[in-house]
């Protein structure tokens, strides 16, 4: 199996990100800052030439993917429901502070192990794992040695669990910022982490991005 580089991209910033509100399945669009972040990432990726751009259908991810694809002629986002964010049940739309104040016991359990202790009415670990595995199977089967997958914090962490065989609790200690890219190399010997949470483009001007290519 020839080596593949998968870029795992978290969507750009939304108003709810700025308010520390759980988004989950709620379809919150990018704000102006998020759109700017996506444009900067797209400029940095120009010339990287991914064979495909997969995306969650939720607007914050889809808009990010569309901006990335716009810099790569002939590539359009492939929307997949199994890349949508995990459901946070009754916590969606509420802030971390509100939830911690209202239900400290559940919040403490979730904070210790978010996958294994979902919020009330939230999506189970096995459900997230099953659909993300299905998404990865399709992404890995795609022809070409470079692919972009645009999704959400919870889903990207599950991808790291599956690709790198990591304990679920450990991946929540990894920061995955808005519009960051994480590089995974997949080859005949398995998967390896090339880089994590690279969001340098979000702090640079467009003219400087040609000096900051992603590793190949």
Segment 157-179, tens digit of pLDDT? 999 999 999 999 999 999 999 99
Given strand 190-198, what is the order of strands in its sheet? Answer: 77-79, 52-55, 146-151, 4-10, 181-187, 190-198
Residue 97 annotated in ligand binding: no
The predicted structure's pLDDT at residue 214: 72
CA distance 139 to 188: 16
What is the residue-averaged pLDDT of the chain?
A: 93
CA distance 67 to 158: 24
Residue 144 annotated in ligand binding: no
Residue 172 annotated in ligand binding: no
Mean pLDDT along residues 44-54: 92
Q: DSSP readout, 65-82?
A: HHHHHHTSTT--EEE-GG
Mean pLDDT along residues 146-155: 97
CA distance 170 to 168: 5
Residue 49 annotated in ligand binding: no
Q: Please return the burial class of 45, using the count of CB atoms within 10 Å of its CB with bins 0-12, 13-18 and 19+.
A: buried
CA distance 146 to 169: 29
CA distance 201 to 196: 14
CATH number corresponding to 4-87+132-209: 3.40.50.1240
CA distance 24 to 52: 25
For the whole model, what pTM was predicted?
0.94
Mean pLDDT along residues 85-89: 96
CA distance 127 to 155: 11
Residue 41 has pLDDT above 80, yes or no: yes
Residue 16 annotated in ligand binding: yes
In which band, very low, low, confident or very high, does the pLDDT at 194 lie, cut at 50, 70 and 90? very high
The predicted structure's pLDDT at residue 188: 87
Q: Catalytic residue numbers? A: 11, 85
CA distance 114 to 92: 14
CA distance 117 to 193: 27
Residue 201 annotated in ligand binding: no
pLDDT in tens, 96-131: 999 999 999 999 999 999 999 999 999 999 999 999
Please answer whether residues 28 and 14 qualify as being in contact, where contact means their C-beta atoms are separated by less than 8 angstroms. yes
Residue 146 annotated in ligand binding: no
Please answer whether residues 118 and 110 qualify as being in contact, where contact means their C-beta atoms are separated by less than 8 angstroms. yes
Closest CA to 2 of 134, 138, 144, 115: 144
């Amino acid at each position: 199996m020839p080596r593949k580089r998968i870029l795992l991209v978290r969507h750009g910033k939304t108003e709810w990100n700025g308010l520390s509100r759980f988004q989950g399945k709620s379809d919150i669009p990018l704000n102006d800052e998020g759109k700017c972040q996506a444009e900067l990432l797209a400029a940095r990726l120009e010339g990287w030439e991914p064979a495909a751009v997969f995306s969650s259908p939720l607007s914050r991810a889809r808009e990010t993917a569309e901006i990335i694809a716009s810099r790569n002629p002939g590539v359009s986002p492939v929307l997949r429901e199994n890349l949508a964010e995990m459901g946070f049940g009754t916590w969606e739309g509420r802030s971390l502070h509100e939830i911690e104040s209202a239900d400290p016991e559940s919040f403490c359990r979730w904070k210790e192990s978010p996958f294994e202790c979902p919020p009330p009415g939230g999506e189970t670990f096995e459900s997230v794992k099953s659909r993300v595995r299905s998404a990865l199977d399709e992404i890995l089967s795609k022809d070409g040695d470079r692919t972009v997958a645009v999704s959400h914090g919870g889903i990207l962490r599950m991808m790291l669990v599956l690709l790198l065989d990591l304990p679920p609790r450990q991946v929540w200690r990894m920061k995955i910022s808005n519009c960051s890219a994480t590089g995974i190399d997949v080859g005949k010997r398995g998967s390896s982490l090339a880089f994590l949470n690279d969001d340098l483009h979000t702090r640079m001007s467009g003219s400087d991005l040609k000096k900051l290519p992603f590793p190949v």
